[in-house]
Each structure stands twice: as C-alpha cells, then as structure tokens.
Structure 1
Amino acid sequence: MGGAMPEPAPGEIEWPANPALDEVREWIRRSAPGRMLAGAPVVYRCAPWGLTARFAASGNAIFFKATADYFAAEIPATRLMNRHFPSASPRLIATREEPGRRWMLMEDYQGRLLSEAKTPEPYLAAVRTLAQVHAYFASALDEVPPTIPRLPATQVPGLLDELIPYVERWYASEWRASERLRHDLLDLVKANAHRLPAWAREVSALPNSLDHGDLHSGNVAVRRDGSVVLFDWSDVTVGCPFFSMDFLLSSITQTLGAMEGARLSAEYLDALAGWADRDELDRLYMLALCLGPVRSAYTYKIIEEGSDCRGRFHATVGWWLQRAVTRWGQLG
C-alpha cells in the first residue's frame, strides 16, 4: 500500500509481536535450507495490512513479507507473475498460506526503487513492462486463479455508494478540520456520484487484465541493466488495467513534472494501441483515471474494517477522493 503519507526509513521500525521473530526465523530455516541468516532483520514496513523485512543471508539477501488475510491474493498473484514474467517479479523461495499466516519469502530484488529515479527512463521502462503484463493477461484470463478478486469497472460506482456513508460516519469531522482537503470535498463527491455509472460502462469496453492496484514508485525496483521488478501485488484484482497507471502517473508528475507525466501515459497507450483507435483509447484512459481513485480509496475501507481501525486513514482516503473530484471537474 501507499498513498499520500510518507514512509518511515528502513531500519527505524521494530519487529512486531505478531508474527514472532523466532517463528519466522524457524520457518525460513525450514523453507530455505542452506541459507544461513546473519544479524537482525531490517523492517521496511509494519502496517495493519502486513510486514516487510529484509534478512541478510548467505548467497543473497532475502525478503520476508507477511500479508493480512484480506490481501491473500498477493501470494497467488506473485506466483502467477513468477510463471509468466519471472524477470519482472520478485522470485519466490517459499510461501505459507494459512489464515493469519500468509507469508512469502523472496530473493532480494537487486535494484533501486523507482522513487529514487531522477530521469524519466526508468519510469518509461516500468510502464512498458506493465503494458506487456496487461496485454498478456487480457488474452489469458483463464490462467488467473479465482483467488484473485474480480473487480470490473462497472462495479466501481457501487464502491463509491458504499464509501460515502462510511466517510460520513468515520471521516467527516477530520475532513472538515483538514487544511489539505477542500472544505466541500464530501459534497462534491456526493453531487457527482451519479456520473460514474455511465463512465464505467464506457470503460468496460476495454479488456480486463491484472490491475496491480498500488503501483507507486516505491513498489517498482530498477536494476542496473534498466529492467524493472513490479512487486507488492497485495491490492491486485482482475479489472480495468488502466487503473494501474494512476499512482505511477502521480509519482512521475510530482517528481519530474506534468510533461513527463503526459509522456508516460503516451508510452503506455502506444504499447496497447491494438485495443482501440487512439482517440477512443485516450478517452477511455481519461475516464479510467476518473474511476481509479475511487477503487484506491475503497481499499482503505477494506483495511480499516479488516484491521479494526476505522477512521485511521481518513487523510489518505481524502487524498484519493480529492484526486477523483479534480479529474471529474476536468471533464466538465
């Protein structure tokens, strides 16, 4: 997961009580015999939805990830990517798939995060790879296991219908007090909700594929040879592939400017030119970017309800819905 909130630096986070470090070490010992661990792990993230840590080990460092049950699809999605795009996904060493114990052990990505990039080329490499993934699975959905949720574009308006009363109950007072959100945000969301079904019907003309759901620049690794690894498939669904572009577009625009954002979009759409003529593709892309933030905002409702922390991510949900409202306004 990502969003508008800053991430803590690796090494600043303590290992949590659950899962117990001794239990994880023993599982790694049994799952990767011959890979001797050295020293304390570096915890990169500890959040309601999971834990990510790096262990120094003989041969090569390894990553451990524990994922919440409501993000159980990450393991089959990563396995699927290993099968069809092994060079563009973290290589799995072992997995554990039990309630409360959804664990992955992965080889080190051997790259730097895309968020460290100062030029557009790594971003362009990322969207070219993403387009290859989307093109492949658009014609091979029968290979996607049923454990990966289906979320076609036509379901997104219903997500907003569920989200509005949730926002009213858990976020409204925080939003009114926020200096980062417009004071009329909730009113604008409610006033424009009726427009989404028509947009969703248009967008449904696109083929469905794997939608990463959280592809920001901190979930892409860039190797020395310029190739990329797409990781953290916790939010994955089968749905509108264009939704996956939203976060990357935000990342490059904030880092390198709007012109590079436009170039990124063009690179991605050029790779999928066979899906529709360019004018139609451009329109469907814009409409998808009007729907995508709703899908992202709804994910935090899933997290809050699944982790019993309702109201915690009011700022992040507000950021996503303000992004949506801005785009709705651009459509007139």
Structure 2
Amino acid sequence: MYDLASPTVDRGRYADAVTPWEQESWRTAALGWVEAGLAAHGLRVTGRLQVRLRPWSVLVRVPVAGRAAVWFKANPQASGFEGALTAALARWVPEHVLEPLAVDADRGWSLLPDGGALFRDVLERETVQPRAWEDLLRRYASMQHALVPYAREIERLGVPSARTAELPEIFDTLLAEDTALRPDERARLDTLRPRLVDWCAELAASGIADSLDHSDLHDGQLFNPEPGRYTFFDWGDAAVSHPFCSLQVTARRACGRYGPEVLPRLRDAYLEPWTGAGHTAAELRRAAHLAWRLSALGRARAWGRLFPVAPGAAPLAGQSARTLLELTEDPPL
C-alpha cells in the first residue's frame, strides 16, 4: 500500500490552487488505480512518490521496481480527454507518442511510461544546433499530416473543436467572457474583428485540412531520448484546428535561444510535409503567416481548462486576456 503521508509535494507558484489531491478519498482511489494498473503489467511501486500540483493537472512520479518511473496524470474535466487521446495517438501514430499503461477516460486519469530525457534538459546540458528544432518541427508536422483523416474521431474523444471556420465565433465568445481586458484593450480587439474574419476565411480556403493542434508545443512538452528521436506528449491544451497554429509556440522558443534569424528555416522545415497536393511554397508561407496570429485563439481558450483556482493564484490572472491580445501583433514571418 501507499503511504499517503510520505509523498513529496511540489505546488510551484500555485500554493492556493485547489486540486482533487486535497481530498483523501480521491487520493486513495487514484493511487489504488495506479497500483492496479501497474499490477496488470507485472509492476510494483518502490520508493517515495513525487507529486506535482498545478491548476491544470495532478502529476505523480511513481518509482517502479526494475525499470524507469511511471507517471500518473489527472486532468480537470475540461481536458479530461487527454488520456483517451494519448491512447488513440499510440494506435494511429505510435512512432511519435507515448503508449499509456492504463487510461480511465471517464475520470481523466492516465498512467504513462517514462519518455526519457526532456528536450529542455538536453538543451541545458548539450550544444544543440537549430537544425534539431527544424527536425522536430518536420516530424511533428508529419504526424499532424497523418492525423488529418482522424480529425472527426479526435473530436469524438472530447478534444475541443477550434476549426478554422469556427474561429470568429470562438473569438466572440472569448471576448464576451474575458473580464480581465481593459476597456482600451477590448476596443482594440473589437476593431480587429472584421480583419480577423477575413483572415479566417482566407486560411480556411488555403486547402490545408484541420488536424490536431497541440497548442503548447515547447521544449518541455517533448522527449528527446536519443539524437533525432522526438516523442510528443502533454495534450491537455489540444484542439482540432488549423494545423499550422502549432508553429508559433515552438518557433518562438527556438528564436529565444538562437535569435530571429532562424525563423525562416524553422517555418520551411515545418511546411515540408505539406508541400504535396499542389500547394506552392508561397501559399504555404501565407497560410503559416495567418495561422501564427490566429493561434492565439486556441491558446487563450485553453486557459479555461483548470481545476478550481482559489483567490490569490495571481500568476493565472489575466493570462487568457494577454494571449488574446497577441491577435493585435503582426507575425514576424
């Protein structure tokens, strides 16, 4: 049995966030489920659990005898699709993702194997050239391309729809519901709406079908267990949307490390898997330009997928509004 008094607990900057971990009955049920899931694979726990609590997830590192640790993750209801999505991706694109050891889709629980070194950790300990980022973007785009036929099935798993044609409606909802925007900021976004509608219509007409958008693919959301191998994970912010909306977060992280001069090569590496079906380089680059700006909508909406957040969780205050305001910024490509 687990000793519930023994785990180390990391709350980061979110000491006041309310998660299910505070409920003893929930902890007992969740950790019992973990034990059963491990037993089904002939595994058992050894050592102390390490718990990471955030407003968007409960994550538990579970040391296991004879192999690398496994990870239990619990999502809030609004991102409870993540376990089922991860399991489906393991069937459809197994070379790109983790295969869960167990999933409880109804409760938003998943048990995952260790994926090896985070790309972020590799960047800290080694000299990594920009071409590695080009390679991971090319591989990620290849995965998205392969997932286009599964877009409807992905939505049936509960993944939110943010299809290109729906983005103006999503914009209207976000604007109406966001109470953190100042009057002048709201006015700027209101003024932008006619142009946003035109951008969405142009992007929808580009001939690139909607697919899975990770929405937050940065160096801490992918594993790099060996050179040239990348495993994508953490799908709680995902949506079915224009696939090119994924480019912005990754490209910005790379530019922050190497400078803006790497951006054109990153963009073109990402676009390589989409060059078939008669699309010209100019057309693809224009679509990437539009999606770079419009990606703010999916990311702003994802900030609502949280456990209850108690007063005083200041780091989250206004985050959706700040992301929404990126719509007013000209893309750098």
| Range into which the TM-score falls when normalised by the shorter chain | 0.7 to 0.9
How far, CA to CA, are the matches of 1:35 and 1:195 in structure 2? 56
Q: How many residues align?
A: 305
CA-CA distance at 1:103 after TM superposition: 0.5
How far, CA to CA, are the matches of 2:168 and 2:121 in structure 1? 31
Deviations 1:236-263 (A, max 9, x none): 2222101111211121111221122222
Runs of 4+ in 1 over 6 A off after TM superposition: 308-311
Deviations 1:115-138 (A, max 9, x none): 652432332232122111111122
How far, CA to CA, are the matches of 2:122 and 2:322 in structure 1? 23
1:165-176 correspondence to structure 2 within 5 Å: 165-167=176-178, 170-172=179-181
RMSD of aligned Cα (Å)? 2.7
Instruction: Note if contact 1:114-1:122 (Cα within 8 Å) is conserved in structure 2.
Output: no
How far, CA to CA, are the matches of 1:143 and 1:303 in structure 2? 21
Deviations 1:61-111 (A, max 9, x none): 10110011111221222112111222321220001122xx21000100012
How far, CA to CA, are the matches of 1:119 and 1:237 in structure 2? 30
Q: Does 1:17 align with 2:22?
A: yes
Q: Residue 228 of structure 2: SS of its match in structure 1?
A: coil
Instruction: Note if contact 1:49-1:307 (Cα within 8 Å) is conserved in structure 2.
Output: no
Q: Residue 61 of structure 1: SS of its match in structure 2?
A: strand
How far, CA to CA, are the matches of 1:145 and 1:297 in structure 2? 19
How far, CA to CA, are the matches of 2:322 and 2:136 in structure 1? 24
Which residue, out of 118, 137, 141, partners 1:131?
Answer: 141
How far, CA to CA, are the matches of 1:196 and 1:297 in structure 2? 15
How far, CA to CA, are the matches of 1:13 and 1:35 in structure 2? 28
Cα distance 1:116–1:257, how it changes in 2: closer, same or farther (>3 A)? farther
Q: Residue 56 of structure 1: SS of its match in structure 2?
A: strand
Q: Does 1:163 align with 2:207?
A: no
CA-CA distance at 1:316 after TM superposition: 2.1
Which residue, out of 83, 86, 92, partners 2:100?
Answer: 92
- Which amino acid in the other structure matches residue 94 of structure 1? A
Instruction: Note if contact 2:135-2:269 (Cα within 8 Å) is conserved in structure 1.
Output: no
Instruction: Note if contact 1:73-1:236 (Cα within 8 Å) is conserved in structure 2.
Output: no
Q: Does 1:269 align with 2:283?
A: no
Cα distance 1:278–1:309, how it changes in 2: closer, same or farther (>3 A)? farther
How far, CA to CA, are the matches of 2:153 and 2:174 in structure 1? 32
Q: Does 1:70 align with 2:78?
A: yes
Q: What is residue 90 of structure 2 aligned with on the other side? A: 82
Cα distance 1:120–1:43, how it changes in 2: closer, same or farther (>3 A)? farther
Instruction: Note if contact 1:78-1:90 (Cα within 8 Å) is conserved in structure 2.
Output: yes
Which residue, out of 273, 279, 283, partners 1:280?
Answer: 283
Q: Structure 2 unaligned runs (5+)? A: 1-7, 13-18
CA-CA distance at 1:326 after TM superposition: 1.1
How far, CA to CA, are the matches of 1:158 and 1:267 in structure 2? 31
Q: Does 1:121 align with 2:131?
A: yes
Q: Does 1:149 align with 2:156?
A: no
Q: Residue 108 of structure 2: SS of its match in structure 1?
A: strand
Q: What is residue 204 of structure 1 aligned with on the other side? A: 204
Instruction: Note if contact 2:148-2:211 (Cα within 8 Å) is conserved in structure 1.
Output: yes
- Which amino acid in the other structure matches residue 202 of structure 1? E
- Which amino acid in the other structure matches residue 296 of structure 2? P
Moved more, 213-222 or 118-127: 118-127
Instruction: Note if contact 1:153-1:204 (Cα within 8 Å) is conserved in structure 2.
Output: yes
Instruction: Note if contact 1:73-1:149 (Cα within 8 Å) is conserved in structure 2.
Output: no
1:289-328 correspondence to structure 2 within 5 Å: 289-300=292-303, 302-303=304-305, 307=308, 313-327=316-330
Q: Residue 50 of structure 2: SS of its match in structure 1?
A: strand
Instruction: Note if contact 2:59-2:71 (Cα within 8 Å) is conserved in structure 1.
Output: yes
How far, CA to CA, are the matches of 2:219 and 2:189 in structure 1? 27
1:36-51 correspondence to structure 2 within 5 Å: 36-44=44-52, 46-51=53-58
Q: Structure 1 unaligned runs (5+)? A: 1-9, 177-183
- Which amino acid in the other structure matches residue 63 of structure 1? W
Deviations 1:46-75 (A, max 9, x none): 222211221111222101100111112212
Percentage identity across paired residues of the two chains: 22
CA-CA distance at 1:24 after TM superposition: 2.8
Cα distance 1:145–1:199, how it changes in 2: closer, same or farther (>3 A)? closer
Instruction: Note if contact 1:88-1:228 (Cα within 8 Å) is conserved in structure 2.
Output: yes
TM-score normalised according to structure 2 size = 0.82
Deviations 1:210-267 (A, max 9, x none): 1112212211111123201110111222221011112111211112211222221110
How far, CA to CA, are the matches of 2:92 and 2:81 in structure 1? 17
- Which amino acid in the other structure matches residue 54 of structure 2? A
